[in-house]
Amino acid sequence: MKKKLLSAAVMAALGLAALSANAADTELNLYSARHYQTDEALYSNFTKLTGIKINRIEAKEDELLERVRNEGANSPADVFITVDASRLAKADEAGIFAPVKSKVLEERIPAHLRAPNWFSYSTRARLIVYNKDLVKGEQVQTYESLADPALKGKVCTRSGSHPYNLSLGAALIQHDGAAKTEEWAKGVVANFARAPKGGDTDQIKAVAEGECGVAIVNSYYLARLMNSEKADDQKLAGRIVAVWPNQQSWGTHINISGAGMLKHAPHKEAAVKFLEYLASDEAQAYFANGNNEWPVVPGVKVSNRALDRLGPFKADTLPVGELANTAAEAQRIFDRAGFR
């Protein structure tokens, strides 16, 4: 798939054209915990547009955070990018980010999808998927319904300690309260078809094959199967039904990919321009078309068959930066409930 460079109008709006003439900003050091091959074009387009070379180091979030801390004021890192709001909040709490003042980012990224020191660039939803031969659709329209005793022996999920589930637990605490969330977690554990294991694609397979009746999964895993050219992937996707949970209450829980500028960034101007580039229409469309995520910038047009088929939904507007406030409590609740 060919990717378009930013249009001249967008370049002017973002102030990117000036970058290529700035000799001080000929490179950008990116620490990335996003492990998607499809991001290559996203980064190469920035280089083609600005002349700024991206030097990228990829590793797991904890490894990169430890590296930044050890490097201290001598760190060469300009930007840290990762997935999951709680991970970004953890990085922020470690004091590695510098505040960014950008009219472009404030105008393009909705307030609930940014924090003072970092910004969301794409969203993914926490879906419910079910096997229509084992579960009725009306039984699984909310996250809370997964604790209903009628689903005993039918629920599958990945580990309760995974950030995807912890962020959902954190959101449940803020919407329903800690006591109800703990009751919910105990009910979900009582309904397990098997002990939590595997990733989200494994949950989809287990539901499709009838090992489970229902599971919680991130939307882009399902969209990836739906867009796959492999017959087996298409069959898996065709055997399950997806539900947007909590459409009659607070909306479907979403999480994000995001980034921030590092406190000791040696190329601060390039870092800000890179963050602004990620909020451009072209880059936003790439998140959707390249990795089956939704843009955070309203009105960006995307062309993704699976996302179109999944259709519109009401998303939770809880500020993503606040998820970290109850993530640790969610972990304690899950541990007490046996959700490990």
Q: Kindly state whether residues 197 and 225 are assigned to the same domain.
A: yes
Confidence of residue 1 (pLDDT cuts 50, 70, 90): very low
Confidence check: pLDDT of 79 > 60? yes
Work out the mean pLDDT of the chain and round it to a whole number.
91
168-225, pLDDT tens digit by residue? 999 999 999 999 999 999 999 999 999 999 999 999 999 999 999 999 999 999 999 9
According to the model, what pLDDT value does residue 248 have?
98
The CATH number given to whatever domain includes residue 151 is 3.40.190.10
Q: Kindly state whether residues 73 and 19 are assigned to the same domain.
A: yes
Q: Kindly state whether residues 197 and 317 are assigned to the same domain.
A: yes
**Known binding-site residue numbers:** 35, 220-221
Q: Kindly state whether residues 242 and 171 are assigned to the same domain.
A: yes
Q: Kindly state whether residues 207 and 262 are assigned to the same domain.
A: no
According to the model, what pLDDT value does residue 38 have?
75
Q: Kindly state whether residues 245 and 136 are assigned to the same domain.
A: yes
Residue 126: strand pairing partners: 218
Q: Kindly state whether residues 296 and 224 are assigned to the same domain.
A: no
- Number of structural domains (the chain) is 2
* Residue 321 lies inside a defined structural domain of this protein: yes
Q: Kindly state whether residues 110 and 160 are assigned to the same domain.
A: no
Q: 338 — alpha (psi -120 to 50), left (phi > 0) or beta? A: left
What is the domain range of residue 18? 8-123+254-304
Q: Kindly state whether residues 37 and 63 are assigned to the same domain.
A: yes
According to the model, what pLDDT value does residue 96 have?
95
Q: Kindly state whether residues 94 and 222 are assigned to the same domain.
A: no
**Known binding-site residue numbers for Fe cation:** 35, 220-221
305-329, pLDDT tens digit by residue? 999 999 999 999 999 999 989 999 9
Lowest average pLDDT, out of 60-64, 196-200, 335-339, goes to 60-64
Q: What is the pTM of this model?
A: 0.89
According to the model, what pLDDT value does residue 4 have?
37
Q: Kindly state whether residues 183 and 96 are assigned to the same domain.
A: no
